[in-house]
Amino acid sequence: MPSMNETNGSAPIGIGLLGLGVVGSAVAASVLSNDGQKRGLKLCGALVRDASRQRAVELPSGSVTTDPDIILDSPDIDIVVELMGGEEPALEYISRALAGGKHVVTANKEVISKHGERLRALATEHNVSLQYEASVGGGIPIINPLLDDLSANELLSLRAIINGTTNYILTEMASGGASFDDALADAQGLGFAEADPTADVDAFDAVYKISILARLAFGVSVPVESIYREGIRKTASQDFRYAGELGYTIKLLAIARRENGGLLVRVHPALVPVDVPMAKVEGVLNVVEAEGDLVGPLWLQGRGAGAEPTASAVMGDVLRTASVIGGTGNVRQARPIDSELPLLEMDEHQCKFYVRLTVRDRPGVLAQIAGALGEMEISIASVLQMDTDAELKNADLVIMTHPAREANMQRAVERIDALGDVDNVANLIRVESYPTDR
């Protein structure tokens, strides 16, 4: 397709970058490339924290600045590309850019998950566009397909692996028997995990991302605080061993699904049958599995992080926005919050559970545990006794239940934990249901 500049010879489209880290540098390189110039893009400035730092990309002299006003107030800049991350000052800069009549492209999942609805309204008020394809799933096209190609569908569910760092850690634990700490250290050594891994391993990152997807897919506001969140710190190497014996692996899943007349949004580790495709999404790969009433099941898999995949999504947004400025295209904005679908509490969720306990290995212990489960109307499907220590007279018990209500399971766990012969309930993992496993 000929570029807008080739077709109408209009003035270049000014790009201002906020942030010049690994993704920002890859985006700058793309804008400065021959292809970027042929498409009429011009890099007018880049906001950095430290102007003296060496970067992977050489920028035109004088275009690097530590003063946000140079970017936000420049009449030459049409599109502000925010790649700083974090809530502030990114939120302030995005808001100022939109209010100043500039289009915005951002990869900022925290800002969009917490303030997306307000920013959408601000963009509409000022007749500019706000695009954030790179905020979820790195290079995977998911935001625009939800807004555009899938917009005739009623979405039934989204089920995703949308954090590459934790998927890398869990894959290492599954394949090599690594402990959580060793797999995390390995991920940090390779640059996948941050020095402070909280956002990834405690699942805040995945919560931001599923909040964005759920808002767009279901037309409801899904505040991040409303989402059930559980990270992977409790997942131990023996959980993979025991789950493997039962035909499962463990993945951190982010799920938004219509059920019981409402929408339940949750992020937690889950047992996934080893023979379903999701079990085979390994390392830093991400996947989003959607189900629409018209399209049926849909599978989008790709690289969920990294400079180039993220730059692919950012540049897609930049070029879409450029075509609007050139008068040859349009962008889809998120639809306003228009659904009455209530958000459901996790307490009402029903699933099978995997329970790992360390107990005294002596007569009557299993009966006490079965009694506590029975009192809460939870039915046992199978019990495995593992890793018996004859000297300490301890054993690991793994109990698989039939489908049970979350609130009942939590109460049962409290009662079991209080039993004298139970050292602890070491882990409780929900079993995700797939058509092959029903």
Q: Which residues have a catalytic role annotated?
A: 209
Asked if 19 touches ligand HSE (CB under 6 A), the answer is: no
- Nearer to ligand HSE among residue 22 and residue 428 (C-beta): 22
Q: How far is the CB of 54 from ligand HSE (least distance, A)?
A: 24
- Phi and psi at residue 184, to the nearest 5°: -65, -45
Q: How far is the CB of 76 from ligand HSE (least distance, A)?
A: 30
Interacting residues of 113 by C-beta distance below 8 A, sequence separation 6+: 135, 207, 208, 209, 211, 212, 224
The one among 24, 68, 273, 304 contacting ligand HSE by CB under 6 A: 304
Asked if 305 touches ligand HSE (CB under 6 A), the answer is: yes
Task: Compute the distance between CA of residue 147 and CA of residue 387 in angstroms, rounded to an integer.
Answer: 50
Asked if 200 touches ligand HSE (CB under 6 A), the answer is: yes
Task: Pick the stretch among 157-165, 332-340, 343-351, 428-436 that binds ligand HSE (CB under 6 A).
Answer: 157-165
- Phi and psi at residue 330, to the nearest 5°: -145, 160
- Phi and psi at residue 40, to the nearest 5°: 85, 15
Selection from 62, 58, 72 nearest residue 20 by Cα: 58
Task: Pick the stretch among 159-167, 348-356, 406-414, 428-436 that binds ligand HSE (CB under 6 A).
Answer: 159-167
- Nearer to ligand HSE among residue 205 and residue 432 (C-beta): 205
Please give the residues from 101 up to 130 whose contact with ligand HSE meets the rule CB under 6 A. Answer: none
- Nearer to ligand HSE among residue 13 and residue 107 (C-beta): 107
- Nearer to ligand HSE among residue 165 and residue 401 (C-beta): 165
Please give the residues from 161 up to 180 whose contact with ligand HSE meets the rule CB under 6 A. Answer: 163-165
Q: How far is the CB of 303 from ligand HSE (least distance, A)?
A: 10
Q: How far is the CB of 213 from ligand HSE (least distance, A)?
A: 13
- Nearer to ligand HSE among residue 194 and residue 348 (C-beta): 194
Q: How far is the CB of 32 from ligand HSE (least distance, A)?
A: 24
Q: How far is the CB of 59 from ligand HSE (least distance, A)?
A: 24
- The 3-state secondary structure of 291-322, one letter per residue: EECCCEEEEEEEECCCHHHHHHHHHHHHHHHH
- Nearer to ligand HSE among residue 165 and residue 211 (C-beta): 165
Interacting residues with ligand HSE (CB under 6 A): 163-165, 200, 205, 304-305
